[in-house]
Amino acid sequence: MIKKYFAVILALVLALSVLSGCGEQIKKDEKVVVSVNGEDITEGEFMYYLLIAKNTIISAGDGEDNEEYWKTTEIEGKNAGEVARETALKNAVELTVMAQKATEMGVDNSDHVRREKRQNFIKQSFGGSENDYISRITELGLTDENVTKVVIKDYLAGELSSKVDIDEPSDEQIREYYDKNYYRAKHILIAFSNYESDNSDGHAEALKKAEEVKALIDGGADFESLIAEYNEDTAINDSSMGYVFTKDVMVKAFEDATKALSVGEISDIVETDYGYHIIKRLDAAAVYDEFLSSKSRLDQKGEKTGKDEIISFTKQEQLKVMVEQWKDESEIKTNDDVLKAIPLTTKEDKK
């Protein structure tokens, strides 16, 4: 149920696997999309950020990567294609500003480090296969130079937190952040995957089962008892707390549905890519101490606690404030005509 946080580098791994290529769109003489303190971001490098932005938008909704979707879909009153370009531009500028600041602060940007980070990316994303790496980025219209630039910028930006002066939050600030930003919910998931067959994708069968469970709830059945009997979510073992989460951690439909509930209220059937959910919102404050000492589900190594998670988020917010200030102090020149002319789909998608 958890939507993983991605660094820019990890985000591309997913984008590489699910989005269509843009190979015919990148010209040999690449035009400059935006300049940041005299450093040019060309069309080729910008396509990297655009792929990630497109993937993020597609993953958050039910769309497909085609021309019709980007032209006709609206996201909070804006055209989806415009949102993708604006998001890509924002990310490109921010990452470049952060990389520049990290270099100013003495983060190692030597040729040796650059080669090492490039090889680490290929190992992580393509199992170390240079041929697979080159083949896939070529399909997407990217060059090794384009990708390596962003890989290095991502590394430099990641080193910033160790260089800037960021205050450790007090216990009071940790509690304030938790009360303001965290939600708690339990749910009953009827998973599509459990009902798939040669003739079915599992949706109709899962919906039928979810409707049966919802009827039991509406008839007065105990929610906790129904969780034990019907819940098909294998990702959560902490039955006492349920999910305790902040913004952008869970899949969007789950988060939105939880936020719309009052404490103690149970949702209608909610659909996500995982299946059909029936969600009960619970009091997050009641498990504050337990959450602080529990293992953070956002830490794949299982070494950080909920308290560590909140400390990390508060420090990220401090860093965001710094980045905004650095952006305000930067000379940023956007070539709007070049930006608007960058296609969101290939010629093949338009057929």
Q: Residue 54 phi/psi, 5° resolution? A: -60, -45
Burial 63-77 (b: 16+ CB within 10 A, else e): bebebebbeebebee
Q: What pLDDT sits at residue 229?
A: 93
Q: Mean pLDDT by 10-residue block, N- to C-terminus, for the chain (351 residues)?
A: 44 52 54 97 92 84 82 90 94 96 95 94 89 88 90 92 90 97 96 86 94 97 94 78 92 94 98 95 97 87 90 92 96 96 67 39
Residues of the chain with CATH 3.10.50.40: 184-293
Torsion sign across C-alpha atoms 23, 38, 145, 92: negative
Write down the residue that tokens 């690449």 correspond to.
Answer: 30
Residue 332 three-state SS: strand
Cβ(10)–Cβ(150) under 8 Å?
A: no
Distance CA 108, CA 106 (A): 6
188 closest CA partner among 288, 277, 118: 277
Q: Left if phi > 0, otherwise alpha if psi is -120 to 50, otherwise beta: which for 242?
A: left
Whole-prediction pTM value?
0.76
Pick the CATH number of 8-164+318-350 from 1.10.260, 2.60.40, 1.10.4030, 1.10.3470: 1.10.4030
40 closest CA partner among 31, 49, 52, 27: 31
Residues of the chain with CATH 1.10.4030: 8-164+318-350
Write the pLDDT tens digit of every residue in 294-307: 999 887 777 899 99
Q: What pLDDT sits at residue 67?
A: 87
Provide CB contacts within 8 A for 176, sequence distance 6+. none
Distance CA 232, CA 217 (A): 17
Q: What pLDDT sits at residue 346?
A: 60
346 closest CA partner among 89, 54, 10, 33: 54
Q: What pLDDT sits at residue 239?
A: 63
Write the pLDDT tens digit of every residue in 272-294: 989 999 999 999 999 999 999 99
Torsion sign across C-alpha atoms 69, 71, 73, 74: positive
* CATH code assigned to 184-293: 3.10.50.40
Distance CA 259, CA 253 (A): 10
Write the pLDDT tens digit of every residue in 32-86: 999 999 999 999 999 989 988 998 888 777 678 888 899 999 888 899 999 999 9
Q: Which residues pair with 280 in a beta bridge?
A: 186, 266
End-to-end CA separation in angstroms for the chain: 36
Q: What pLDDT sits at residue 238?
A: 57
Q: What pLDDT sits at residue 236?
A: 74
Provide CB contacts within 8 A for 254, sequence distance 6+. 1, 185, 187, 270, 272, 277, 279
CB atoms within 10 A of CB 39: 15
